[in-house]
Structure 1
Amino acid sequence: MQHHRTFEEEKMTRRLIRVIAVVVFMLAIGSSTAFAYTKTVIINLDGVPRMINTDVETVGDLMETLDDVISADYVLQGDISKSTELTKNMVIDLTSITEKKTTKTETIAYDTEIRENPDLEEGKEKVLQEGEDGELSIITKENYSGAKLISSEVVGELVTKEAKNKIIERGTKKEELPIVELKKEPANVTVSAAGNNSLNVVATGYTPGDPGCTGITYTGTKASRGTIAVDPKVIPFGTKLYIPGYGYGVAADTGGAIKGNKIDLCYETRAEALNWGIKNITVYVVR
């Protein structure tokens, strides 16, 4: 009997020990869980506060847990780093880093293309094609810290419309002047390689209303543009001349100051005559 009681007592003792161990383990878990979530921190994400209960030890650990909650990348602000230990009621400022792509359109200015045409008279131009601007799309990647732009980079360009050049045809054909033989070869006349009779003169300008002018030429015609006063001993009356920068005219007038290789070109207005001034030029005798 004494041996049986000892066996039962030992059996009960072992059972009691197991129960106590389970209770102690459960109490330990409950105590650990209760202790683990005693830290409350405040996170300001782009200025919006969030209260979070956590059991992690450092700011970096906390940020890793937030990866499942916050999709955007973010950076710490202030003096706090990832290794900073979390404390109760700590305030952590986080600013999200976001990326945005923008597209803007710029104008591609057209160029002007000049084509020489030997069949078109020199000085004349003809527009063969009007110009048209093109368009260029520029794709830019922008990075923002919160609402602040921190970087911008062009990542692509695409010509959505080609520019069309303006094409201008420019004449290069020289005007051919007909030749006339003078009855009396004037002084200082030279014959050019092309066979033109030419004369080096000093040319001035006048108007029919100038002092000393009557409006009627020496030969009896009305003075107007194209009337040229000459020394008839050098250029006979009736000679048709071509004067570069003035055009065609006829030797039909003279004057006391018109001596030798000097001619006076008639203009309609005083301004035109003054604008011509005094020029040393070569004139040509034409039919």
Structure 2
Amino acid sequence: MGVFQTEESHGTRSSSMSFALRWMHENVRLISLVALLSLAMTFMLMVVLNVYAKKDISLVVDGQHIQVETTNTVLQHLLDEQAIQVGAYDKLSMPLQSELKDGDSVEIWRAVPVLVTADGQTKNLFTTEKTVKEVLAAANIPLSEDDKITPALNTPISNKLEIKITRVSTKLVNREVSIPFEFVKKPDATLLQGKQKLIQDGKSGLVVQKIEKVFEDGKLVSIKMVDKAYKSKATHKIVAYGTKKPEAKVRTLSAGGPGVAKIHSLGKEVKYAKVLKNVTLTAYSSEEDGIGTRTASGTTVTEGRTIAVDKDIIPIGWWVYIEGVGFRRAEDTGGAIKGNKIDVYIQSLKTANKFGRKKGHTVYVIGPVKPSAS
């Protein structure tokens, strides 16, 4: 007996396809939702795998390089994992809550304390700056061109570095100073010697000085003159002094007025100022103990010229004529020579002793000029 297989007819296949199409049409929203859910789950899985994947991170702390591998996704967590503490004044190249990515480089600069003294105050600052100049700029401390900064602005920062700012200010003031006049003397041939005459009165001048005062932190440290201008110049006081020599005059002395005497040794008459009667003559020598060669008038004792007199009777420097002796000049004085006494100088002590004491001589007091033989 044979088995007969039932053949599927064309009508049957058509019915199945129609059912499928009709189901898809009726359930298109469900199919779309399933597709979206599948995509979302795939994306989330990729994100999770990426987040929790290991990352190579480069840490640089104060110039020291550390290479780490981590699954942490936030910088704060990585630093906690590495036991790296960040101070309040430390500086980072990215915020602590930044998300980490593979290959990131994170730099940390440690803050150090520095002491800054300025304007009468000392502040303790923490800084990550590299130089003194950068520290002062970051602290908003103004500087002027004249201020003194210690140490220098380009000095590298070190732990507990002391920085001092000395404020320098300059003040210009005007100061009036009196200039004294000079005393000038000029010779005048028309005036007698010893006489003076005022030619021009003196007057002080006035100069205005520009003074620069330098202050450091309010204290005066230097003063100097930087400029000056004359407000009025000084006028010299000029005085003329006489150079004219007085004419020789015969002084009229007491006892025996002026007159004319016949000097036989000269063969002529000579004018005299006065005549002295009964004059006592003695002699002295420089060879005696205590007798020098210099006279009271400053001349050198000379035999044949020098005599010692009472200057109240015969003026020093005047010539006299002593009868029996000759012309002599009053150049010296002596303690024992008073009144009508004259001590005649003789070079030899022996001769002077022989001279002895001679009384009754007449002496003509002539004047400062010796009569000539002509």
TM-score, normalised via structure 1 length: 0.49
Higher relative CO (Cα under 8 Å, sequence separation at least 6) belongs to 1
Q: Which of the pair has more CA radius of gyration?
A: 2
